[in-house]
Amino acid sequence: MNLNSHRLAYLYLMKKIIFICCVLAFFMLLQNTGIAQCAMCTKTASQLGEKPATGLNQGIVYLMLAPFTIVGLIAYRWWASNREQNQNN
């Protein structure tokens, strides 16, 4: 395989991974009830009422996505570069 075919395969794989991540994030944001609360947030949410508590849950899940996405992308880049180095050797 030449260099262009490797790049095309890499781009295809990246598009596939990004699509899967977007679909997972979409379904995580669609959930109505989140169980992502600490004890303090649970007490605050119970005092706020139903709608604000749901918004608080969704906000916690939304804020949780960024660090996990960043760590996932770093891990994937590291794995891909190691795999590429192993193929070249």
pLDDT category at 74 given cuts 50, 70, 90 is: very high
Burial of 83 (0-12, 13-18, 19+ CB in 10 A): exposed
pLDDT category at 36 given cuts 50, 70, 90 is: low
pLDDT category at 40 given cuts 50, 70, 90 is: confident
Residue 54 CB neighbour total at 10 angstroms: 16
In angstroms, the CA 41 to CA 60 distance is 10
Of residues 34 and 72, more confidence is placed in: 72
pLDDT reported for residue 80:
86
Domain of residue 51: give its range.
25-84
In a domain, 17, yes or no: no
Give how many domains the chain has, as a whole number.
1
> What's the mean pLDDT in 78-83?
86
pLDDT of residue 1 exceeding 70, the answer is no
Mean of pLDDT over the chain = 79
